[in-house]
Amino acid sequence: MTPVSTIFEPAVPHAAAGRRRYDAAARWAARLFIYGIPTALILVPMIAFLISSFWRIDGATVDRSFTLENYRTFLSDATYWGIYLGTLRLAGVVALFGLVAGYIVAYLIWRLEGSFRYFMLLCSVIPLAMNYIVKIYAMRNILGFNGILNTMLVWAHILPAPSTLFVFNQTAVLITMTVIYLPFAILPIFLSLERIPASLVEASADLGGPPGYTFRHVVLPLSLPGSIVGGLFVMVLALGDFLTPQMVGGSQGFTFGRAIWSQFGMAFDWPFGAALAVMLLLAIIAILAVAGLLSRYGRLS
């Protein structure tokens, strides 16, 4: 049963029996540590979360007997379904924007040469390190009623007066999420372009394919599956976000993430919140399954 190991085995074969017993104990301690800590810190909480979605709130206490009531409440309430599907669509649109804009930026960087290429790549990744709350805050500054966008549109005579079009609604959430999550799309798209063997692009050029033709028939088909995976990654991030809609969405920008979060805050119905989060998890597992299929297909073709 002992795993084959060149390192954790005793180096001297004829060591004393006591020494060997000590080694066996040390190996078991190492195993317990290596497998135990990630299990305790990550897997056990995940399971606890899944189990708690089958509990029920009874007054101020939690009733820990198995019930499907939380799921029944969700499935029978059209409001929750509406928010659920609406959030899926919102995250899908954010992902689509990320995919299109990210592809254009990543493609242009991919075509560059030398250190300028690396510099531009760095520029597209640095916004990831900028504080998340700060970005939301700045976007509120820009999109607000007295914000930069409105001021500029009025100044340019596109709008007669400041508009409430970009503040405290789904549009504001969409714009802000796109700006925040776009860098997460650029990097995976760039990497999927980078995986295309240079010889294929050269071969296409040698055979007389003009750049546009090479792009349509070689680069795009080879990079698209990986790029879509990048887009789906953005979708997962957008689905789980609850602070962006809270900060720029107002009452019209209610998303499923906010619905979950409010169960842990004001409503204080943790089991129901957990059940809602399980519904979110199901959507995410479906998205990840699609991503997995796409990346396998991308590697085969």
Partner 1 sequence: MTRAERITIAILWLFAGLVFLLLYGPAVLVVVLSFFDIRRGAVVWNSFSFEHYAALAHNASILSALGNTLLVAGGSVSVAMVLALAIAYYMRTGQRRGRAYIEFVIFLPFVLPAIITGISLLITFRELGVERSLFTVAIGHIVIVISIIYRLVMVRLEALQTSQLEASADLGARGFTTFRLVVLPQLSSAMVTGALLALTISLDETLVTFFLAGGDPTLPLRLWAMMRVGFSPEINALVSIVLLITTIAASIGALLLRRSIPARKA
Residue 200 in contact with partner 1, rule: CB under 8 A: no
125 binds partner 1 (CB under 8 A): yes
The binder of partner 1 chosen from 28, 81, 116, 118 (CB under 8 A)? 118
Residue among 88, 234, 280, 294 that touches partner 1 (CB under 8 A): 280
Q: Looking only at residues 203 through 242 of this chain, which bind partner 1 when binding is defined by CB under 8 A?
A: 210-212, 236-237, 239-242
Residue 89 three-state SS: helix
CA angle 225, 226, 230 (to 5 degrees): 115
Closest approach of Cβ 46 to partner 1, in Å? Answer: 5
Which residues neighbour 23 within 8 Å (Cβ) at sequence distance 6 or greater?
10, 15
Ranges within 146-185 binding partner 1 (CB under 8 A): 146, 148, 179, 182-183
Q: Which of residues 25-44 bind partner 1 (CB under 8 A)?
A: 30, 33-35, 37-39, 41-44
Q: Mapping DSSP to helix (H, G, I), strand (E, B) and coil, where does residue 63 land?
A: strand
Asked whether position 126 contacts partner 1 by CB under 8 A, the answer is: yes
Distances (CA, A) of 136 to 75, 142, 168, 176, 279: 32, 10, 12, 7, 26
* β-pairing verdict for 56-58 and 61-63: antiparallel
Q: For the CB of residue 157, give the shortest distance to partner 1 in the complex, in Å.
A: 21
The residue among 73 and 78 lying less far from partner 1, judged by its C-beta, is 73
> Residue 222 or 277: which CB sits closer to partner 1?
277
Asked if residue 143 lies in contact with residue 172, where contact means CB atoms within 8 angstroms, the answer is yes
User: Are 224 and 294 in contact, with CB atoms under 8 Å apart?
Assistant: no
Query: For partner 1, which is the closer residue by CB, 247 or 294?
Result: 247
